[in-house]
Structure 1
Amino acid sequence: MAQPSSSTAVHGRRRSSPRDEETERLLARDRSAADRAEPSHHAAVDPQGDEPDGARERAGEQERSRPAPARPAFRTELHGLRGLAVLLVAVYHVWFGRVSGGVDVFLFLSAFFLTGTFTRRAETGQPLAIPRYWLRTFKRLMPPAAIVIVATLAMSLAVLPASSWTLLSRHALASALYVQNIVLAAEATDYYAHDASAASPFQHFWSLSVQGQVFLLWPVLFALAGLLATGGRRRPPVRTVLMILFAVVLLASLTWSIIDTERAQSSAYFSTFARLWEFAAGSLMALLLPWWDRRTGGRRPEDDTAPLHPTGRALLGWLGVAGLLSCGAVLQVSTAFPGWIALWPLVSAALVMAAGFSSRRWGADAVLSRRPARFLGDISYALYLVHWPLLVGWLAVRGGDRAGPLDGVVVLAASIVLAWLLTRLVDTPIRRSPALERRWWRAGVVVAASLALVLASSLVAFPAARHVIEGGSSEGGAPTASTHPGARWTTDPLADLSASPAPLPDALSIPQDLLPDSCTGRFGSADAVYCRYQPASGTPAATILLAGDSHAAQYASALMEEASSHHWAVYYVGKMGCSFSTASGNPGCATIDAAWPTVLDSIKPDVVITIGSRTTASGPAETARPDLGGALELVRERHIAAVVLRDNPRWSTSPSPYDCAFDVIRDGGTPASADADCGADLSAKAGAQDPIASLADDDPSAPVLVADPTTDQLCPRDRCSPIVGNVFVYRDDNHLTTEFSRSMGPWFGAEVQSALAARDRVHAAPAASDG
């Protein structure tokens, strides 16, 4: 007997089998959902790619005899997929501190939906109405974001360290202006830091900033494609032009993403250009999916045909869901995203899209279309907004580095409740308001009001923070060398300094403790290399080169403080995270590893100073750097003296020594009480043996001296205090403040003079023998 055709209609045209009845029921459910659905979305467009409140616009266009676009079936499974993706983002943030791939799915789906909207307009000859689209999009996105930003500022003032307030005020403005990704990249933020409590509560706005920038750019690309498709007699179809255009964007951005991720992954993670290929992939999927459905017998909404290969489609959908669920667990994305490895979550989402409607009750599309997944899809944008500030605030109150099983459930549950309230009370009313749709300028008023709310809150929060900070840190007169000696102070570190002015630096100065200037492109290096240079007055008596990562860079202030009295020229050259090495084994340091011979030959230093060991935050464990040998060989070949430093102690980040001690002092404590609450014995922070002592070499032509700033300067009298000589030692969990570094100038001056004297002895030897 012939099998019934898969194209047989299922709406009462004949008596159906139980399987056909199930198909009919699912189709009817989808049509009903399409008629009533106006969910809120991370992409600020409805799941079909057209604005949910665009019916009036389409009706008006029909009245003007313009062809109306065919409205595709509501893809309830994609709405649920978005909900699953945001849940994964929250779960991985709360419990695992890893990247789940959910954000990449957001970006992919955003472009998929947006492309559907503009492609239908372009193909039916409708005006793209780009300014109107921009206003309507940001009218939906900005009010919930503004409320979360203001609430996060209030939370920050209540529970986060005062030392972070100035930085967070800047992050709030950057988030509202959709440039937070640029700010974070400039600050070289490590998105994969294991301690969420040490991160900015606005850090997650990086992806919304990237998305907002693309929402501005993508319609312009559609306008460009329209121009290309209408030029000349043999004009190509607009869909063809769009596929070529987005293919070019994908290839260019993916190539750059791979290169930039390999070169500087922490900043590439936030780069819009390194992410454009994910949007381009979503756009290409939107353009190719109709062709795929025609070739594979997918359901066509216009005739309600049942799908071909239903079981295969159900399995294909589950393959995509499994890929998304396993991405964060299987991949070590901290050194790979957003390079080619980000294809994993995108391909997983594409499989769910390609599977489409399976008509199987156990299919992934059916599960993703059910109420729990649809609920998560409805609140997905708000859930993404609120979960991260709640987590950061909770960890600050709890004092932990990571949420546990039970309190993680509380944070996640609270996030879902707040997201539901934000969606119900703010997002949905604004999105569905007929009054806001009647006049275009009303959407502009909503956008302007949202910006004004954040701006006013930041301007109020900043003076309030400044008042509290200055009230606790500027009493007692101006700082002097006698009141704030720092490392120059050699008496009991816990002597009576409480009568002196409050310790320096205050919290307003910490954010200005920035990296040196960039010297990218010099010395044959294309990496993000940093340089500082302080020339000598007249001909330098000696040239000193400080080489290596941020732990070397922090001592530049010490050397430059001392250099003027000795007529030294001082350089710092290095890259964050890259030690002075010719074979570090770190792909992100390969270019600067190869550039060190050029650096040495260009500067011709008399003394090179670098870090020779590495400490850990977990205890006194300390190891010599195994990759230092090749770099020291370069120095010996050029008869340059070297000073190899022991690494400084590292601390737990909850809170950092500065945050802990600053709060003690602000609350009326003394350096002694700050030391008791926030300090540690030397034996708990450094090993009994110096692991680099064996590097010392008395070769007179290229002597190598080993110096220990930890026992001599940072932890006097066997105690590592957060305040020494009325100066805060650390600005975070492992870097020194500029003020304390400057106070180490005399100590560094003595070490450099010893190295110069050891090297100069070889020049004095021939003269002695002649005599």
Structure 2
Amino acid sequence: MHAHTSHAGPKQASVASPRADTHRDDLDGLRGIAIALVVGFHIWMGRVSGGVDVFLVLSGFFFTGMLLRRVDATDTVGVGQTLRRTARRLLPTLFVVLAAVLVITAFTRPYTQWGDISAQTLASALYYQNWYLADAELSYAAPDPSVSPLQHLWSMAIQGQFYVAILLLVALWAVLTRRLRPFPRRASLLLAIAALGGLSFWYAAAGSDRHQAWNYYDSAARAWELLAGAALAVIIGGLRLPTPIRWALGAFGSAAVLSCGLLIDGANLFPGPAALFPVSAALAVILAGAGAGRLPWPNRLLASRVCTELGSLAYALYLWHWPLLIFYLAQNGKIAPGLSGGVLIIGCSLVLAVLTRQLVEAPLRLRREVADLGSARYRRAVGVAVVGVGAAVFVAAFGWQMLLRANPPHPPRELDAARYPGAATLLDEGIAQVQATMRPTVFEAAADAPAPTYDGCITPNREVRVCTYGDAEAQRAVAVVGGSHSEHWLPAFELLAREHGFRVVTYLKEGCPMTLSDQPSYAEFPFPECREWTEEVLDRLAETRPDWVFTTATRYRMHADGDEVPPEFLDVWSALSDRGLRVLAIRDTPRLRRDGVLYRAADCLAHRGTAFTCGMPRDAALDPIDPAVEPASAYPNVFPFDMSDAICRPDRCRVVEGNILIYRDEHHLTASYARSLAPEFGKRLGALTQWW
């Protein structure tokens, strides 16, 4: 969010733009409007405004323009000097915000979240937060208490990676083209930038059609937005646009920036072709203000005092507003802050942004600003303090990560049934409750996962991976198919397969219940990769012909209580029926949520919760009757069954039963609890399959 708008000397100014000898106040104002949209849409609209895409274009434009002015003035980009200057502008405020997030997390959030926050702190400080989020399959969600307070720093990571890449590109170009005349020299750079931008745009377009959750954070997919600004920095000095065209560009660009978030759902579409809208808007505003003559009226409005002052706060305001929003929602247990809460968050963010700019940014940026703050002594003190804060951030985050690595979780592989009856306590009233330490513990919970999570048999991509568990030589076979909610039954299947002699063959893909739709009704964004994977799996099943196909039959209602059978599931049942395959259709596991917000059982227990208070009313999680029963009656090959009574009590779904933690996160069973379900699970399977 930081524009590099340094003043240039006469020779430098002639390179980047006819107006480069004057400060582009209108672009400072554009940053101000963009940050206002980002903050407002995050707080009250719960969606993407397009403001970040505008920032990316501006960053590419300013940074590349600055490099070109240096090359024309000195014939070199000064790699070391540029890196130092950029770090001095970006890191102090970032370290202050990261330190604040760590402190607030330590005092207000459950200690089970410290590991993830410390990991994301390191990712943010080292500018790879976008890859951390992409690898963790964390789609860019609307703010709620379950979202990371550092999620927004993905864009800073991408900008930092771009700065290094374009710096090296321009440095190499400056050396290789030193003997060329000015026009072909500049044209060669434009050609390289255009080629890279075109490849990035093609990659982003393909990614948005296949895996949007990854694509949103992918640096390669985002690069074209920054390169668009970079390309404009290369050519803008030679442009002479007629006044009417400049005015039209200014009007279009300003209107498009303001309307983008209302017209386009960016979280589901950017940085694919839909991002051409905010990118073109930013380019239009830049072009409208270039050249001699009076600025068009939209640009004059952007150059007003209010917009430019807001623009000067853009970087700090962007860094502060999101953590304050997430911590506010978490502390108040709300999914949205409302009008008064939003005003409070904006007010606090503005105050912190002003203080950060005046007390941290300004003293370290330019020496002439020191006089306004007292003396050079203050500047040195701020520098020392920032270094200390940065060191503290790294020591705290890295230290906690090392502590976790030195004490890795060891979830139980086998528990004494007398002390840890688990699901049996819900099914057999004669079982006496015995005092025992809960297993897995809150630190072990996330690691208490089924085998495919660790052996790679659940795929994160388009590949169809087939694995076999249980009795590998057995003739009878059950195919466990779908996403992680099919996977988490595998520990029970493994026990039964060894006992009764059958194979369990898995076809699993992360986040992918079987579907024949590019964007199922329950999906937040298009996921054609899931549909393609499902089609191939159906063909494989038709060839291998397992005795039974096991998959989930229901799903929670996203915007209401209870559960349902999505229509896309019926399409899959029909496809399986057409192939002559019999289906064991299990009712999905209840998901832990309050007021529509998912929460992790371990976090709740670590935050002074109990098995009861961390649970939820059964009627909020499940309909009174399995919703799969009625639609399944139309499919002779589909046999629905319901294990909910072995997970929930008649009135409440608790998070611990029989001394075993049920959930390893918000909605997946721990492997330990799944194993405790095996006896009852076996009874249901035996009755349906007639195998025992």
User: Compared with structure 1, are the counterparts of its residues 466 and 552 closer, same or farther at alpha carbon in structure 2 (3 Å cutoff)?
Assistant: same
Q: State the match for 2:438 in structure 1.
A: 502
Q: State the match for 1:45 in structure 2.
A: 4
Question: Greater shift after overlay, 266-275 or 509-518?
Answer: 509-518
Q: State the match for 2:47 in structure 1.
A: 98
Q: Whole-Å Cα distance in 2 between the matches of residues 262 and 517 of structure 1?
A: 28
Q: Whole-Å Cα distance in 2 between the matches of residues 187 and 661 of structure 1?
A: 18
Matched, 1:559 2:493: yes
Q: Whole-Å Cα distance in 1 between the matches of residues 288 and 610 of structure 2?
A: 66
Q: Whole-Å Cα distance in 1 between the matches of residues 597 and 299 of structure 2?
A: 47
**Aligned partners of 2:144 and 2:330 also within 8 Å:** no
Q: Whole-Å Cα distance in 1 between the matches of residues 555 and 279 of structure 2?
A: 38
**Aligned partners of 2:556 and 2:564 also within 8 Å:** yes
Q: Cα distance, 1:370 vs. partner?
A: 2.1
**Aligned partners of 1:246 and 1:280 also within 8 Å:** yes
Q: Whole-Å Cα distance in 1 between the matches of residues 6 and 250 of structure 2?
A: 18
The code of the aligned residue for 1:427 comes to E
Q: Whole-Å Cα distance in 1 between the matches of residues 232 and 49 of structure 2?
A: 22
**Aligned partners of 1:484 and 1:727 also within 8 Å:** yes
Q: State the match for 1:142 in structure 2.
A: 91
SS of corresponding position for 2:151: coil
Identify which of 168, 172, 175 aligns with 1:224.
172
Q: How does 1:189-208 map to 2 (within 5 A)?
A: 189-192=138-141, 194-208=142-156
Q: Deviations over 1:573-616 (max 9, x none)?
A: 23344322344655523311321233325654332111122222
Q: Whole-Å Cα distance in 1 between the matches of residues 557 and 287 of structure 2?
A: 48
**Aligned partners of 2:110 and 2:607 also within 8 Å:** no
Matched, 1:255 2:202: yes
Q: Cα distance, 1:377 vs. partner?
A: 1.4
Q: Cα distance, 1:330 vs. partner?
A: 1.5
Identify which of 280, 288, 304 aligns with 1:355.
288
Q: Cα distance, 1:423 vs. partner?
A: 1.2
Q: State the match for 2:531 in structure 1.
A: 590
Q: Deviations over 1:147-198 (max 9, x none)?
A: 2111101111222233322111111111111111111001100212x44211
Q: Whole-Å Cα distance in 2 between the matches of residues 521 and 510 of structure 1?
A: 16
Question: Greater shift after overlay, 426-435 or 240-249?
Answer: 426-435
SS of corresponding position for 2:426: coil
Identify which of 24, 27, 30 aligns with 1:81.
30
User: Compared with structure 1, are the counterparts of its residues 658 and 598 closer, same or farther at alpha carbon in structure 2 (3 Å cutoff)?
Assistant: same
**Aligned partners of 1:520 and 1:530 also within 8 Å:** no
The code of the aligned residue for 2:440 comes to L
Q: How does 1:611-760 map to 2 (within 5 A)?
A: 611-616=552-557, 618-636=559-577, 639-652=580-593, 659=600, 663=604, 667=608, 671=611, 675=612, 677-694=613-630, 703-710=637-644, 712-757=645-690
**Aligned partners of 1:517 and 1:531 also within 8 Å:** no
What is the number of residues matched between the two proteins? 668
The code of the aligned residue for 2:210 comes to R
SS of corresponding position for 1:483: coil
Q: State the match for 1:300 in structure 2.
A: none
Matched, 1:392 2:326: yes
Q: Whole-Å Cα distance in 2 between the matches of residues 530 and 444 of structure 1?
A: 53
Q: State the match for 1:305 in structure 2.
A: none
Q: Cα distance, 1:721 vs. partner?
A: 1.6
SS of corresponding position for 2:145: helix
Q: Whole-Å Cα distance in 2 between the matches of residues 426 and 655 of structure 1?
A: 39
Question: Greater shift after overlay, 619-628 or 421-430?
Answer: 619-628
Q: How does 1:480-629 map to 2 (within 5 A)?
A: 480-490=416-426, 499-502=435-438, 504-507=440-443, 509-510=445-446, 516=453, 527-528=461-462, 531=465, 533-537=467-471, 539-583=473-517, 585-586=519-520, 587-588=526-527, 589-601=530-542, 604-616=545-557, 618-629=559-570
Q: State the match for 2:264 in structure 1.
A: 331
**Aligned partners of 1:122 and 1:238 also within 8 Å:** no
Q: State the match for 1:424 in structure 2.
A: 358
Q: Whole-Å Cα distance in 2 between the matches of residues 493 and 445 of structure 1?
A: 66
SS of corresponding position for 1:486: coil
**Aligned partners of 2:481 and 2:506 also within 8 Å:** yes
Q: Whole-Å Cα distance in 2 between the matches of residues 537 and 492 of structure 1?
A: 30
User: Compared with structure 1, are the counterparts of its residues 520 and 644 closer, same or farther at alpha carbon in structure 2 (3 Å cutoff)?
Assistant: closer
Q: How does 1:111-150 map to 2 (within 5 A)?
A: 111-124=60-73, 126-150=75-99
**Aligned partners of 1:198 and 1:654 also within 8 Å:** no
Q: State the match for 1:455 in structure 2.
A: 394
Q: Whole-Å Cα distance in 1 between the matches of residues 211 and 405 of structure 2?
A: 35
SS of corresponding position for 2:64: helix
Q: Cα distance, 1:665 vs. partner?
A: 6.6
SS of corresponding position for 2:285: helix
Q: Cα distance, 1:650 vs. partner?
A: 3.0
Q: State the match for 1:29 in structure 2.
A: none
The code of the aligned residue for 2:2 comes to A
Q: Whole-Å Cα distance in 2 between the matches of residues 295 and 313 of structure 1?
A: 6
The code of the aligned residue for 1:178 comes to Y
Q: Deviations over 1:638-680 (max 9, x none)?
A: 554320011222342569776567545764x653xxx1x3434
Q: Whole-Å Cα distance in 1 between the matches of residues 173 and 148 of structure 2?
A: 40
Q: Whole-Å Cα distance in 1 between the matches of residues 518 and 48 of structure 2?
A: 26
Identify which of 277, 282, 285 aligns with 2:229.
282
Identify which of 243, 247, 252 aligns with 1:319.
252
Structure 1, unmatched stretches of 5+, are 1-41, 62-66, 297-307, 761-771
The code of the aligned residue for 2:78 comes to A
Identify which of 268, 275, 279 aligns with 2:215.
268
**Aligned partners of 1:148 and 1:385 also within 8 Å:** yes
**Aligned partners of 1:162 and 1:465 also within 8 Å:** no
Q: Whole-Å Cα distance in 1 between the matches of residues 73 and 91 of structure 2?
A: 30
Identify which of 345, 358, 377 aligns with 2:311.
377
Q: Cα distance, 1:199 vs. partner?
A: 0.6
Q: State the match for 1:24 in structure 2.
A: none
The code of the aligned residue for 1:346 comes to V
Structure 2, unmatched stretches of 5+, are 371-375, 521-525
Q: Cα distance, 1:621 vs. partner?
A: 4.1
The code of the aligned residue for 2:453 comes to P
The code of the aligned residue for 1:238 comes to R
**Aligned partners of 2:563 and 2:622 also within 8 Å:** yes
Q: Whole-Å Cα distance in 1 between the matches of residues 313 and 634 of structure 2?
A: 68
Q: Whole-Å Cα distance in 2 between the matches of residues 197 and 498 of structure 1?
A: 35
Q: State the match for 1:365 in structure 2.
A: 299
**Aligned partners of 1:722 and 1:730 also within 8 Å:** yes
Q: State the match for 1:214 in structure 2.
A: 162
The code of the aligned residue for 1:329 comes to L
**Aligned partners of 2:158 and 2:219 also within 8 Å:** yes
The code of the aligned residue for 1:488 comes to A
User: Compared with structure 1, are the counterparts of its residues 111 and 658 closer, same or farther at alpha carbon in structure 2 (3 Å cutoff)?
Assistant: closer
* Structure ID, larger Rg: 1
**Aligned partners of 1:101 and 1:324 also within 8 Å:** yes
The root-mean-square deviation of aligned C-alpha atoms, in Å, is: 4.0
Q: Whole-Å Cα distance in 1 between the matches of residues 461 and 283 of structure 2?
A: 35
> What TM-score, normalized to structure 2?
0.85
Q: Deviations over 1:254-292 (max 9, x none)?
A: 111011111110111110000010011111121232233
